[in-house]
Chain A
Amino acid sequence: MDTDFSQDPIGWVESLKRAIEANKAIIKTSARVLIMLGVSAVVGLLAHSFGLNRQQVTSCSVFIMIIMSTLLFWQHRLAIAFVGIGALMGTNVLTLPMFVRECKLDVILFLIGMMVTVGVLKELGLFTWIIQSVIAIRRITGPMFVVIIVFLGAFMACAVDEVTSIVFIATLIFQVCDTLKVRPVPFIIIAVLGTNIGSSGTMLGNPVGILIGQNASPPLSFIDFLTWSFPIMLVTLSVSLIILMWYFRVEIRLLSERLAARRELGLGLGPLVQVPYKRGLAILVGTISFIALHHRIEQYLGLAPNTILIVAPLVIAGLLMLWRHQRSRHYIEADVEWWTLLFFMMLFAVAGTLQETRVTEEIAGYFQQAFGDRLSVLTPVIIGISAVGSAFVDNIVFVAAFMPIVNKLQQTPLLWALLQGTCLGGNITMIGSTANIVALGMLEKRYRTHVHFAEWLKVGAIVGVASCLLAWAGIAALSPFMPTVVQRQRKIAAHQEVRLTVSPAHGDLTKITDPNNSR
Chain B
Amino acid sequence: MPRKNNELQFSSLFRPSHVICQTEQTDRDTILMDLLRLLGYEHGIGNVEQAYRAVLERENDMPTVVGPGIAMPHARLEAIESIVVGVATSKKGVIYSRSCPDNPIKLIILTLVPKAAPGAYLQAISSLAKICQDPSTAEMVANLSTSGEVWSFFNKGRIILPDHLRASDIMEPVKVKLQEQDTLQRAIDLFVHYGLNELPVVDKDDELIGVVTTYELLRVCLPDYILWMEDLAPVLNFQPFAAILRKESKTWLAEIMTSEYATVQEDSPAVQVAKEITRQRADQAYVIRGRKLIGVVSLVTFLSKILRE
A binding-site residues for B, Cβ under 8 Å: 122-125, 127-128, 131-132, 168, 171-172, 174-175, 179, 181, 265-268, 270-276, 327, 448
What's the least CB distance linking A276 to chain B, in Å?
7
Tell me how far the C-beta of A404 lies from the nearest C-beta in chain B, rounded to whole angstroms: 40
Inter-chain contact B260/A271, CB cutoff 8 Å: no
Across the interface, A123 reaches (CB within 8 A) one of B222, B230, B250, namely B230
B244 touching A271, Cβ below 8 Å: yes
Whether the pair A132, B225 counts as a contact (CB closer than 8 A) is: yes
CB of B1 within 8 Å of the partner chain? no
Q: Check if B226 sits within 8 Å of A128, measured CB to CB.
A: yes
Set of chain B residues within 8 Å of A272, measured between Cβ atoms:
243
Give every chain B residue within 8 A of A127 (Cβ-Cβ): 225, 228
A404–B11 CA distance with the chains assembled, in angstroms = 87
* Chain B positions near chain A (C-beta within 8 angstroms): 220-226, 228-231, 233-235, 239-240, 243-244, 247, 250-251, 254-255, 260
Chain A proximity of B251: nearest CB distance (Å): 7
Contacts of B255 in A (CB 8 A): 179, 181
A-B contact pairs, 11 of them (CB 8 A): A123-B231, A127-B225, A131-B225, A172-B225, A175-B224, A181-B254, A266-B250, A268-B243, A272-B243, A274-B234, A275-B234
Beta-carbon contact of A271 and B239 below 8 Å: yes
B229 to A175, Cβ gap below 8 A?
Answer: no
Q: CB-CB < 8 A to A132: which residues of B?
A: 225
Task: Specify the chain B residue showing the minimal Cβ separation from A128.
Answer: B225
With A127-B225, A128-B226, A131-B225 known as contacts, the answer to whether A271 contacts B254 (CB < 8 A) is no
User: Across the interface, which residues of B come within 8 angstroms of A267, CB to CB?
Assistant: 247, 250-251
Candidates B223, B228, B230; contact of A271 at CB < 8 Å? B223
CA distance in complex: A46, B224 (Å): 52
B209 CB to closest chain A CB (Å) equals 12
Q: Which residues of chain A have C-beta atoms less than 8 A from B228's C-beta?
A: 122-123, 125, 127-128
Which residues from A are CB-within-8-Å of B254? Answer: 181
Q: How far is the CB of B244 from chain A (nearest CB, A)?
A: 6
In the bound complex, how far is the Cα of B260 from the Cα of A373, in angstroms? 59
User: Are B247 and A270 in contact (CB-based, < 8 A)?
Assistant: no
Residue from the set A125, A266, A273, A275 with the largest chain B CB neighbour count within 10 Å:
A273
Residue of A nearest to B227 (CB): A128
**Leading 5 A-B pairs by shortest Cβ distance:** A271-B240, A123-B230, A273-B234, A125-B229, A131-B225
Within 8 Å CB of A174, what residues of B? 224
**Chain A residue contacts of B222, Cβ below 8 A:** 271
Q: Decide if B225 touches A175 in the complex (CB within 8 Å).
A: yes
Chain B residues with CB below 8 A from A275, complex form = 229, 234
Q: Specify which chain B residues have a CB less than 8 angstroms from the CB of A270 in the assembled complex.
A: 220, 223, 225
Quote the shortest CB–CB distance from B219 to chain A (angstroms): 9
Q: Which of B225, B230, B250, B254 has the most CB of A within 10 A?
A: B225
Known: A128-B225, A267-B247. A273 touches B240 (CB 8 A): yes
| Residues of chain B lying within 8 A (CB to CB) of residue A265 | 250
CB pair B231–A276 under 8 Å, yes or no, is yes
Assess whether A273 is in contact with B239, with CB atoms less than 8 Å apart.
yes
Q: Name the B residues within 8 Å of A268 (CB-CB).
A: 243
Give the CA-CA distance A125 to B222 in the complex, in Å: 14
Contact check, A273 vs B235: say whether CB atoms are below 8 A apart: yes
Residue of A179, A273, A448 near B260 (CB, 8 A) is: A448
The chain A residue with its CB closest to the CB of B280 is A448
How many whole Å from B247's CB to the nearest CB in chain A?
Answer: 6
Contact B226 A171 (CB under 8 A): no
Q: Which residues of B contact A266 (CB under 8 A)?
A: 247, 250
Q: Within the complex, which residue of A171, A181, A276 is in contact with B233, where a contact is CB–CB below 8 Å?
A: A276
Residues of A within 8 A of B229 (CB): 123-125, 128, 275
A204 shortest CB reach to chain B, Å: 20
Complex CA distance for A125 and B226, rounded to whole angstroms: 8
User: Given known contacts A123-B231, A128-B225, A271-B244, what 5 new A-B pairs fall within 8 Å (CB)?
Assistant: A174-B224, A266-B247, A268-B243, A273-B226, A448-B260
Contact of B231 among A124, A168, A172, A181 (CB under 8 A): A124
Beta-carbon nearest neighbor of A127 in chain B: B228
Q: Which residues of A contact B234 (CB under 8 A)?
A: 125, 273-276
Q: Which residue of A lies closest to B242 (CB)?
A: A271
Neighbouring A residues of B244 by C-beta, 8 Å: 271
Give Cα A268–Cα B250 distance, bound, in whole angstroms: 11
Chain A residue contacts of B231, Cβ below 8 A? 123-125, 276
Cα–Cα distance between A456 and B168 once the two chains are bound (Å): 43
Question: Measured between alpha carbons, how far is A128 from B225 in the docked complex, in Å?
Answer: 5
Known: A125-B229, A128-B228, A131-B225. A271 touches B243 (CB 8 A): yes
CB-CB nearest in chain A for B221: A271
Contact B223 A175 (CB under 8 A): yes
Shortest Cβ gap from A325 to chain B (Å):
13
Kindly report which residue of chain A lies nearest to residue B240, judged by CB atoms. Answer: A271
Contacts of B239 in A (CB 8 A): 271, 273-274
Task: State the CA gap A9–B93 with chains docked (Å).
Answer: 70
Residues of B close to A171: CB separation below 8 A = 223-225
> Shortest distance in angstroms between A169's beta carbon and chain B's nearest beta carbon?
11
Least CB separation from A175: chain B residue = B223
Cα-based distance from A122 to B228 in the complex (angstroms): 6
- For A327, the chain B residues whose CB sits under 8 A away are 230
Inside 8 A of B240's CB, which chain A residues have their CB?
A: 271, 273
Q: How far is it, in angstroms, between the C-alpha of A435 and the C-alpha of B255 when the chains are bound? A: 28
| Most chain A CB atoms below 10 A, which of B230, B235, B243 | B230
Which residues does chain B contribute within 8 Å of A448, judged by CB atoms? 260
Inter-chain CA distance A179–B220, complex, in Å, is 9
Closest to A131 in B: B225
Distance in angstroms from A485 CB to nearest chain B CB is 44
Do the beta carbons of B226 and A271 come within 8 Å of each other?
yes
C-alpha spacing A179/B239, complex, angstroms: 19
Docked pose: A122 CA to B220 CA in angstroms: 20
A125–B225 Cα distance when bound, in Å, is: 8
Chain B residue at minimum C-beta to C-beta distance from A265: B250
Contacts of B226 in A (CB 8 A): 128, 271, 273
Chain B residues near A124 (CB-CB < 8 A): 229-231
- Of listed A128, A174, A266, A271, residue having the most chain B CB within 10 A: A271
Which B residues are in CB contact (< 8 Å) with A274?
234, 239
Q: Nearest residue in B to A171 (C-beta to C-beta)?
A: B224
Residues of chain B contacted by A123 (CB below 8 angstroms): 228-231
